[in-house]
Amino acid sequence: MQRQPARALLIDLDGVLRLWDPEVGKTVEAEHGLEPGVLVRTAMSWDIYRPAVVGEIVDADWMRLVATRLPLPQDEAIAAVAEWQTHRGYVDHEVLAFVREVRAAGRPVGLASNATDLLRGDLEALGLTGEFDTVVSSWELKIHKPAPGFFERACAALGLEPPWVLFVDDDDRAVRGARAARMPAYRWSSRRDFTYLRAALGLS
């Protein structure tokens, strides 16, 4: 039996709709004599990343913890992290065009992000406010992907049962979590994925 098209789209932010310029981090690391990649690796350390995305600490506290772990004098470490954080990413405009296409076809679109308290401000700065029917933030829910509760709340925000909501993310764990929550889920890899996604939403 052919599967019925999804009635809504739930899409990840970072790595799908928002991209980050790796040269920014490389430049800061080189200027301060840091090992390449140490900023991202330190920030993503689970013991400090998890509290930042489930609303236990604010983004500024998270970045202060990152600074304490860098092999630099604290003043210099704080300055390095602040310089790195001035870059807030950029929008993949082809993905944004796809989001608009989906909404224009009558399918609601939700943004689903493991995020900090900066999410709403970042969306505004990126010109993305108003581009979604709902924004589902782990910081606001106090639950992060891939927890089942995150996907349950996201689908509820879209007003649909999980099997009718197509989830797209670039993280394998999030995709597996969505599938465990009974959602059709697709791992984003490139813009070539649009053909499949349009078909899954009945837009072909």
pLDDT digits (tens, 9 = 90+) for 21-54: 999 999 999 999 999 999 999 999 999 999 999 9
| Mean pLDDT across 110-138 | 98
Question: What is the reported pLDDT for 46?
Answer: 97
Residue 1 has pLDDT above 50, yes or no: no
**What residue ranges in the chain does DSSP mark as E strands?**
8-12, 18-19, 90-91, 109-113, 134-137, 165-169, 185-187
Taking the model in full, what pTM does it have?
0.94
Question: What is the reported pLDDT for 53?
Answer: 98
**What residue ranges in 43-149 does DSSP mark as E strands?**
90-91, 109-113, 134-137
| Mean pLDDT across 93-116 | 98
Is the distance from CB of 7 to CB of 164 less than 8 angstroms? Answer: yes
- Side by side, the strands of the sheet bearing 109-113 are 134-137, 109-113, 8-12, 165-169, 185-187
C-alpha to C-alpha distance for 118 and 36, rounded to whole angstroms: 25
| Mean pLDDT across 53-79 | 98
In this prediction, residue 2 has a pLDDT band, given cuts at 50, 70 and 90, of very low
C-alpha to C-alpha distance for 58 and 51, rounded to whole angstroms: 8
User: The dihedral of CA 129, 131, 136, 137: what is its sign?
Assistant: negative
| pLDDT tens per residue, range 135-191 | 999 999 999 999 999 999 999 999 999 999 999 999 999 999 999 999 999 999 987
In this prediction, residue 3 has a pLDDT band, given cuts at 50, 70 and 90, of confident
Chain mean pLDDT for the chain: 96
Percent of the chain whose pLDDT exceeds 90 = 96
Q: Which fold has domain 8-19+90-200?
A: Rossmann fold (3.40.50)
- Delimiting residues of CATH 3.40.50.1000 domain(s) in the chain: 8-19+90-200
| Mean pLDDT across 79-92 | 97
